[in-house]
Amino acid sequence: MPRSGRLSPRWIYPETAQPTRRLLTGLIWVFATIVAYPYLPGSQTDAFKGVSVFLGLLLTLGSSGLVNQIMSGFMITYSRALRTGDFVKVGDVEGTVTQLGVLSTKVKTFRHEEVTIPNAVVVAQMTTDYSRVGDSEGVFTPTSVTIGYDTPWRQVHSLMLLAAERTAGLRRTPAPLVLQTGLEDFYVKYTLLVCPQRQDARPIVLDALHANIQDLFNEYGVQIMSPNYVVDPAAPKVVPKPQWFAAPATPAPRVNTR
C-alpha cells in the first residue's frame, strides 16, 4: 500500500493515502445508500418522503459552513501544504502539527498547548512549514542586534559568528551568516542567520545563542545599544582605519588577480 511503502504509484503520496481511502469508502457508502433507498420499507409512502425532504432541507441550510471546512481540509491534504509532525507557523500560532482532521487542524505549541484551527482558517492564512526542507537543507532563523557606527562592523560580524559557533544545537552546514540589514539614523542593524538542527527546539537554541552574544559582546567591550544624539558630537563618530580589523576579526587574504 502507498501508506506503508509497499506500493509507490506516482499519482498518490503516503500522507494522502489514508485520506483517499476514507474518501473512497465514504463515496461507496453514499452510492450504496442511494441505490438501496427505493428498497427500504415504507420508502414509497408520503410520510417517508416528507421526512426525507425535511432532513434534506435541514442539511442544505446548516451544512454550508461544514462543507467549507471539509473542502478546505481536502485542499490542505491534497496540496500537501501540511503534514503530521511538521513544525509550522499558521498565522500567529507556531508549533508541531499533531492531527490533520476533516474539519480542523491541531497544532501543539512549544508551551504544550493544543491549538485547534479550523481548516478554512488555515487555507485563508499564510502558512510556513519549517520542517519540509529544514530536515535536509536547513532553514535559516534570524536574530538581530543594533550597534552604533563607532564600532567596527568586521568586529561585530566576527563576534556574532563566534557566538553561533559556541551555541549547541545549530547546524554547521549551511554555515551561519551575518548581514547588515539596515543603516539606520543612529545605528547599524546586524542580522545573524542560523540553522537549528531541530526546528521544534528553536526557542531553546535561540535562548542559548542570545546568551552567548551578550557574553561575547561584554567580553570584548562592545555595547549592544542604539545611541541617539540630540546634537552633533564634537568629534565625528567614525572608525579609524587601524581599527577596522579589531580583535577577533582578521584581515581577509589578498587575492592575486594576475
The verdict on 153 and 220 lying in the same domain is: yes
Within a domain: 123: yes
Say how many C-beta atoms besides its own lie within 10 A of residue 149's C-beta: 16
User: Does the pLDDT at position 4 exceed 60?
Assistant: no
Residues 6+ apart with CB under 8 A from 111: none
Within a domain: 134: no
What are phi and psi for residue 120, nearest 5 degrees?
Answer: -65, -35
CATH number of the domain to which 96 belongs:
2.30.30.60
The verdict on 156 and 124 lying in the same domain is: no
Residue 196 DSSP label: B
Quick one: how far is CA 25 from the chain centroid?
A: 33
pLDDT at position 78, please?
74
Q: Structurally, how many domains does the chain consist of?
A: 3
Within a domain: 222: yes
The verdict on 106 and 169 lying in the same domain is: no
pLDDT at position 5, please?
55
The verdict on 27 and 57 lying in the same domain is: yes
C-alpha cell at 148: 552604533
The verdict on 153 and 200 lying in the same domain is: yes
Say how many C-beta atoms besides its own lie within 10 A of residue 105's C-beta: 27
Within a domain: 255: no
Within a domain: 8: no
Three-class SS of residue 114?
strand
CATH number of the domain to which 150 belongs:
3.30.70.100
The verdict on 56 and 99 lying in the same domain is: no
- Domain extent, residue 171, equals 141-229
Distance CA 60, CA 45 (A): 23
Residues 7-17 pLDDT 10s: 565 656 666 56
Distance CA 109, CA 32 (A): 42
Within a domain: 77: no
The verdict on 99 and 52 lying in the same domain is: no
Residues 157-206 pLDDT 10s: 999 999 999 999 999 989 999 999 999 888 899 999 999 998 888 889 99
Residues 123-156 pLDDT 10s: 888 888 888 775 667 889 999 999 988 889 999 9
DSSP structure string for 159-190: HHHHHHHH-TTB-SSSPPEEEEEEE-SS-EEE
Within a domain: 136: no
Helix residue spans in 38-152 (DSSP H): 46-62, 64-78, 119-124
Residue 130 DSSP label: S
The verdict on 149 and 203 lying in the same domain is: yes
Q: Which amino acid is at 202?
A: R
